[in-house]
Amino acid sequence: MPFPRSSGVLLHPTSFPGPFGVGDVGSAAYRFIDFLQQSKQTIWQVLPLGPTGHGDSPYMCYSSMAGNHILISLEKLVEQGLLAQADIEGDRPNFPTHCADYDRAIPYKLGLLTKAAQNFATNATAEQRSAFETFCRDRQDWLDDYALFMALKQANSGKPWTQWDQTLVKRKPEALDYWRQQLADPIFQHKFWQFEFFNQWSALKKYANERDVIIFGDMPIYVAHDSADVWESPDIFQLNPETGEPAWMAGVPPDYFSETGQLWGNPIYNWEKIQQDDFQWWVRRFKGLLDYVDILRIDHFRGFEAFWQIPYGEETAINGHWVGAPGHQLFEKIGAELGKLPIVAEDLGIITPEVEHLRDRFQFPGMKILHFAFGGDDGNPYLPHNHVENCIVYTGTHDNDTSMGWFNQLPDWERDKLMGYIGGIDQDSVHWKMVHLAFSSVANQVIVPLQDLFGLGSDCRMNTPGKPSGNWTWRYEEGQLTQAVGDRLANLTTQHNRECSPVTL
């Protein structure tokens, strides 16, 4: 569905400031929404909100449905009486303020989250217990297996599920029943953490929506192999029936950017089996995510038209091949079940006419990246004069450098083309020149990473694809969300007619 002319900011909750080693959905999140309202922004885009696994990446989660309990605000738990103020002020490490310190923050927060769960189990009121039971019942289709999966993973020292006892790998009912009893306490804790995450997130979303700010979420097309999704429903993935390992792996073929392509390693879907069940797994997934975001970006959208599959054991993506996918039937079904589809298609990379047809048939907005605009001729689709209304323009995404970092590393010929296009540039204000260029586009929506409003360099980028560690750590610090930045953004928004009511979205 097309969206009205509007604008917003890209910022993941882990990037909020605060004293606990990683951003969360506490007081800093509410102040950020106030900043968006005051600067006339109506969209807050986040990355996937699931519980992160390998490399702390939000694109490699232990569940496609669960929330990341590390984002739970400890301060909110104190307000509820589930923790004492002394609990969060006692032996707290001296965390850095400019970056997420996952190695220390996660065990620190898990200790306090466990204490909060124990306090809830002991002291919850009848009303609180009833709300918890209702939550567990309403989400039973994924929550029971997720909580058991996480408890089993902890009991198995974090090993992937394919390395557990074979009775658990094969999900033998008697083994599952036995371990549900043995692991009753950690299972309860994981359910409670989901209950608390969704309560806190729902309150934050309500606060945003009441201030005319909508939440723009993100859904990776694939799920991690070591996840509750694959362990719970192995039949909808192409796995080796003996080992549980992927029979085929996801990725993209060699292209201009990589001679060997990209090997992601996620298992490929068994689309035949999924179709036999009338796409119900996907319907539940979309419905679950759209319950707590207003718009949903599909990462690697082209995989719904055709996907690149690579045999298990390959070390690169070279020896793969394209396989068609039933995207048209899938989105017809989701539309029939859920009504309007507030979906954005991440249509970057190798895009064929067939992919464009799938995107345009359902009127999904695509994406335009200004950092990609000046490396070709005047027909480059990312140049603003080639934009269409039904798309979203970014200066850059979470996978790109910041605009300052990007500009500083441009080859001379590309920098000259940029300067000629916008009529010259002052290196100290290149970030605002790029933001202005995005806002002036005919594109219905503009999203700007927060780093570009601050004019930050390459050391503040969120992710470097292919870099194995050190990603997802950037955080801004208290005091950076200034009135001056907000006023400048508000003026741009008014100047380019990007104020809209999210009620129309």
Active site residues: 299, 346, 399
Q: Cβ distance 473 to 35 under 8 Å?
A: no
DSSP 8-state code for residue 80: T
Query: Whole-angstrom Cα distance, residue 207 to residue 102?
Result: 28
* Burial of 410 (C-beta count, 10 Å sphere; 0-12/13-18/19+): middle
Query: Whole-angstrom Cα distance, residue 481 to residue 454?
Result: 8
Tokens 């300052």 correspond to 404
Query: Whole-angstrom Cα distance, residue 463 to residue 58?
Result: 11
Query: Whole-angstrom Cα distance, residue 294 to residue 442?
Result: 23
Contacts of 65 (CB under 8 A, 6+ apart): 50, 139, 142, 143, 146, 229, 284, 285, 288, 289
Helices (H), 440-482: 450-454
| Residue among 439, 487, 477, 472 at smallest CA distance from 456 | 477
Long-range contacts of 372-376 (CB under 8 A, 24+ apart): 374/410, 374/414, 374/417, 374/418, 374/421, 375/414
